């Protein structure tokens, strides 16, 4: 069930969905030229609109809620900051921060910013 949900979810993303719409347009082009032109125009127009920064930013703006960010005024004193690991490449000849992977280094940097 999980795999089916992932497949359906990936097909509902804008580019695959418009690709499927274009595929339907190709099949309709064989029998009904007018419907094929309509579906083709709608799919290309929708893809172009979603690709512009104005539409994309307005879609993303709904998920950027400032209430989800850490508020230092509510927590003036921090005793400990826990940084969850990501990837590490153990090598005794390297310094500790050079052994961290990219995502672990980014997480460590965010922890240092909080301190």
Per-residue pLDDT of the chain (115 residues; tens, 9 = 90+): 778 878 777 777 777 777 777 777 777 777 777 777 777 777 778 877 877 778 777 877 777 777 777 777 887 787 887 878 788 888 889 888 788 888 888 888 888 887 7
pLDDT at 83: 78
In angstroms, the CA 66 to CA 73 distance is: 14
Q: Which residues pair with 100 in a beta bridge?
A: 88
pLDDT at 27: 77
In angstroms, the CA 53 to CA 49 distance is: 9
| Single pTM value for the model | 0.38
């Amino acid at each position: 069930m999980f795999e089916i949900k992932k497949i359906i979810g990936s097909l509902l993303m804008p580019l695959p969905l418009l690709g499927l719409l274009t595929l339907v347009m190709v099949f309709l082009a064989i029998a009904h030229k007018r419907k094929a032109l309509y579906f083709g125009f709608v799919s290309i127009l929708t893809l172009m609109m979603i690709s512009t920064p104005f539409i994309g930013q307005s879609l993303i703006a709904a998920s950027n809620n400032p209430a989800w960010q850490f508020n230092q005024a509510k927590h003036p004193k921090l005793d400990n900051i826990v940084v969850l690991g990501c990837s590490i490449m153990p090598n005794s000849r390297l310094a500790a921060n050079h052994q961290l992977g990219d995502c672990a280094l980014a997480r460590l940097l965010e922890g240092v910013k909080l301190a």
